[in-house]
Amino acid sequence: MDKDKLLYLEQNGYKPITDEIIRESFKSLYENAPHIAKEKEAEAKRKYKYYKRYGNEIMLYSMEYLERNSIDELKRNAIKTERRFL
């Protein structure tokens, strides 16, 4: 990923994903179906590398998605997502 995009991500609330964030994002699934949650958590660890918070919601992002979209596309998509969650 180029430096400009990495800088954009850093300045706009995209952060490297952690195990804690993955567990938090699957919290309701853990409460209702823990056996499925474990499977989904393992899949998420492989697929998603960044996350961004929109209010109380956590959106996970794959490197493929972030690399495929230009900074302008990421901005437009972030605005749409923010409107949906806030």
Q: Which residues have a Cβ under 8 Å from the Cβ of 74 and sit 6 or more positions away?
A: 5, 8, 9, 66
Distance CA 85, CA 31 (A): 22
The pair of three-digit structure tokens given for residue 24, joined into one six-digit string: 């938090």
The per-residue pLDDT of the chain, averaged, comes to 93
Q: What is the pLDDT of residue 86?
A: 75
- What would the pLDDT profile of 1-42 be if each residue is shown by its tens digit? 899 999 999 999 999 999 999 999 988 888 899 888 888 899
